[in-house]
Amino acid sequence: MKIAVPVMDENLKMAGNAGHTPYFAVFNLSGGMFKSFTLEGLRANPKAAGEEDHDHDEHHTCDHDEGDMEHIKAHDTMADTIEDCDYLVVKMACKNTAKSMNNVGVKLQKYNGTEALAPKILTELASQFK
């Protein structure tokens, strides 16, 4: 099983908004009762290319309407980047991100905790991945 986490860089700090993350850290999940996560690598988010290097936090809203085809296509391109993953862990994701992920079969797993680093977040969420 593969799980993607939106991160700011190779330090694996989780990004606040999945749609604007510069990278996705992709982890492989193994084990049964005792799950372990191995970092496969980082994948650049094509949707964030050209954006300023800052983290959009939970207060950022996606104000594009359903007719903004260019914006929707950008979300689809982002989803294509991690379409081989089973889950995307998110603190926040707009409806366009959710729809694009659903279209490629990637489930969203909400994270409401306070941990900042992806490996520790995955350990907290381990029981949610089935």
- Give which of 66, 59, 44, 128 is closest to 91, Cα–Cα: 59
In the chain, where the domains are located = 2-50+69-128
pLDDT per residue as tens digits for the range 73-97: 878 899 999 999 999 999 988 888 9
pLDDT greater than 90 at residue 122: yes
pLDDT per residue as tens digits for the range 47-64: 887 665 545 454 445 555
Q: Are 80 and 47 in contact (CB under 8 A)?
A: no
Domain boundaries 2-50+69-128, corresponding CATH code: 3.30.420.130
The CB-side HSE value for 50 (13 A sphere, CA atoms) comes to 3
Q: What is the pTM for the complete model shown?
A: 0.87
Rounded-to-integer distance, Cα 129 and Cα 119, Å = 14
Q: Is the dihedral of CA 68, 5, 41, 100 positive or negative?
A: negative
pLDDT (average), residues 30-53: 86
